[in-house]
Amino acid sequence: MSSKKQPNVVVIGGGTGMPVLLRGLKDLPIHLTALVTVADDGGSTGRLRSEMAIPAPGDIRNVIAALSDAEPMLLDLFQHRFANGNGLSGHSMGNLLLAAMTSITGDFYTGIKEICRVLNVKGKIYPISNENMSLHAKMTDGSIVSGESSITLANKKIERVFLKPQPVKPLPNAVKAIEQADLIVISPGSLYTSIMPNLIIPQIDVAIQEAEAKVVYVCNVMTQAGETTGFTASDHVKAIHDHIGEGCVDAIIVHNEPIKKSVRSIYAEENADPVIYDTDQLLAMNLQIIEGDIINHSQVTLRHDTHKIAKLLYSIID
């Protein structure tokens, strides 16, 4: 890359996986844009959604915290969750601020933009849509489960997920960011409830399919009960293809080191296993495989290592 033009990197996702990715990318010489899900309906987020009819603020809040260069004390305040007090218990300060700013500016995205300015956020953060929407899943047994938080709890095999009310309109800036990207990254996270709600939005799906940039999927390290039980790495990509079209993912990043027995046994209690990385299937899908030891070994819960992943992704652009 010439020193004149910094590459445009777009990260799509939500949940716990996305902020980990963004923390490592924010210090690289790139133009970074995060496109974030607003389909969450649990906890503080769910209550604010139903009371104020706004898109879900929770995932946006975590992304703002990941990309902010504000004072640590200010970030602690932003991420603070009230433990007691009737009306406030369980609410996060950042969610309340996002709801208040939406109320003041009259628009969810404008509210986010103002908070990003106050908290000195590096890069751009776009909600994938400015609308209040809900996620539904059709299960392989034919039943329909409604609401993001209920889908995983149903503990059934998911056939496909869809959004209501239809048609959901994407944020125009989000579509534009994909069209102008030099690299598109689909972040790790709950496949059907954090990642898919972004990809299946009309115009977003087409923009990804038609993108000139390489689309890289950072594969989850562990399966998730109620979502991806028994899934291999290729099953994750196949699910994305089933929802938005064959061949839209060009490359996959996988963890290629064994996971400690002690860590595996903790996850086994939640019916989660290491994602088996099935090279032959991935190659048969014409995917470029980028592998490495990409987890943070100092934590009990498995998280991608923010700097290792950032380095890998940056090497792809280069």
pLDDT digits (tens, 9 = 90+) for 276-291: 999 999 999 999 999 9
Domain span including residue 97: 41-124
Q: Are residues 277 and 235 in the same domain?
A: yes
Q: Are residues 152 and 78 in the same domain?
A: no
- Measured distance CA(58)–CA(29) in Å, rounded: 28
In a domain, 232, yes or no: yes
Q: Are residues 118 and 133 in the same domain?
A: no
At which of 92, 124, 156 does a domain end? 124
In a domain, 21, yes or no: yes
Cβ atoms of 239 and 205 closer than 8 Å: no
At which of 124, 153, 171 does a domain end? 124
Q: Give pLDDT, residue 2.
A: 43
Q: Are residues 150 and 286 in the same domain?
A: yes
Q: Give pLDDT, residue 18.
A: 95
> How confident is the model over 208-214, as a mean pLDDT?
96
- Work out the pLDDT band at 296, boundaries 50, 70, 90: confident
Q: Are residues 177 and 259 in the same domain?
A: yes
* Greatest mean pLDDT among 81-95, 225-239, 295-309: 225-239
Q: Are residues 195 and 293 in the same domain?
A: yes
- Name the CA dihedral angle for 230, 232, 236, 238, rounded to a multiple of 10 degrees: -110
In the chain, what are the helix, strand and coil shares in percent, each to the nearest 5? 40, 20, 40
In a domain, 214, yes or no: yes
- Work out the pLDDT band at 4, boundaries 50, 70, 90: low
In a domain, 267, yes or no: yes
* Count of domains forming the chain: 2
> How confident is the model over 285-306, as a mean pLDDT?
89
Share of the chain above pLDDT 70, in %: 98
- Work out the pLDDT band at 21, boundaries 50, 70, 90: very high
Q: Are residues 27 and 64 in the same domain?
A: no
At which of 61, 91, 124 does a domain end? 124
For residues 101-135, one letter each, b for 16 or more C-beta atoms within 10 angstroms of the residue's C-beta and e for the rest, the string is: bbeeeeebbebbbbbbeebebebbbbbbbbbbbbb
Q: Give pLDDT, residue 220.
A: 95
Q: Are residues 196 and 282 in the same domain?
A: yes
Does the pLDDT at position 61 exceed 90?
yes
Q: Are residues 132 and 98 in the same domain?
A: no
In a domain, 3, yes or no: no
In a domain, 2, yes or no: no
pLDDT digits (tens, 9 = 90+) for 261-275: 888 999 999 999 999
Single-letter amino acid, residue 190: S
Q: Are residues 105 and 201 in the same domain?
A: no
Q: Give pLDDT, residue 132.
A: 85
In a domain, 254, yes or no: yes
Cβ atoms of 69 and 144 closer than 8 Å: no
Does the pLDDT at position 3 exceed 60?
no
pLDDT digits (tens, 9 = 90+) for 186-207: 999 999 999 999 999 999 999 9
- Work out the pLDDT band at 318, boundaries 50, 70, 90: low
Q: Are residues 186 and 276 in the same domain?
A: yes
CATH number at residue 257: 3.40.50.10680
Using DSSP, state whether 155 is helix, strand or coil.
coil
> How confident is the model over 167-178, as a mean pLDDT?
95
Q: Are residues 177 and 116 in the same domain?
A: no
